[in-house]
Structures are given as structure tokens and as C-alpha cells.
Amino acid sequence: LYKGGVIPLEEFASMKYDRDILVRLIVKKTPGDFVYRAMRGQSTDFPVITCALSRVGGEYRAVVGARPSKAMVIRDRDGLLSEGLTESSVKVFADYAAESAPTGSNLRAGAAYRTHLIRVLTERNLRELGGMS
């Protein structure tokens, strides 16, 4: 930031709006596995909901966006996936992600539909990361 200096991206995303200028974005390359999915009405529409999932160093993070507010990070703080990806742990973490991300309604979709999509997209992303069909 022009006045705020270098801060972590997660902190920037959770900051309240101010008039500081974003000068550059520094993303360090980190080995890991990443999956992204978005639900759209049509391929050219803005997304109804987006869900990205990462596994970096054994830590899982889900990022949910277009809900219609800022994107938010959901970490596996309770160790739901610490035993690895199994059928039950995938469902439990998908439910946890859906409960943790508050959603809202607008012209594109309702809050209940977005919550359901978070559950479905998180589960699909976890299955892809774990090599499950």
C-alpha cells in the first residue's frame, strides 16, 4: 500500500475500506495443490459463488467469494482434515465451510442457494484434491 506499507494479503482483504492505494501485489511461489470452481448462470455471467481450495504443507484452506461481499478464508482450525481426505471428513469440512461463510441475497441468487453451493463446491474441490471421483 502507498501509505500502509507491505501487509499480508489476508490482512488486506479483511481491512475496512480506506483511501490508501494498492501499489503492487507480491505473491511468493509456494508448492501446493489448488482447485477453483465458480457457479455461473451462463459462462459469460458474473459468478453466483466462487470457491477455491488449497493444500499447502498439509494445511487446507477454502476461500469463498462472490457471496455478495468480500471473499473470506476458511481454515481447518479444528483439524477436520488432519487425518487425510476420507468420505466423512470431506462432508464434515464442506458442512463446516457452508456454516462458516455468511451469504447474502441479490439479483443473482438467494442466501440459502449460495450456502448450498458452498457446501457442494467445497466437497467437489476436496474430492479433486484427494483424487476421489
Closest CA to 118 of 108, 129, 103, 130: 103
Contacts for 106 with CB less than 8 Å, ≥ 6 apart: 68
pLDDT reading at 132 higher than 80: no
Using one digit for the tens of pLDDT, what is the confidence trace for 29-57?
A: 999 999 999 999 898 889 999 999 999 98
**CA atoms of 41 and 9, how far apart (whole Å):** 29
Question: CA 12, 113, 44: angle at the middle one, nearest 5?
Answer: 70
Using one digit for the tens of pLDDT, what is the confidence trace for 103-113?
A: 999 888 999 99
**Predicted structure pTM score:** 0.84
Query: What residue spans of the chain are helical by DSSP H?
Result: 9-14, 87-100, 111-130
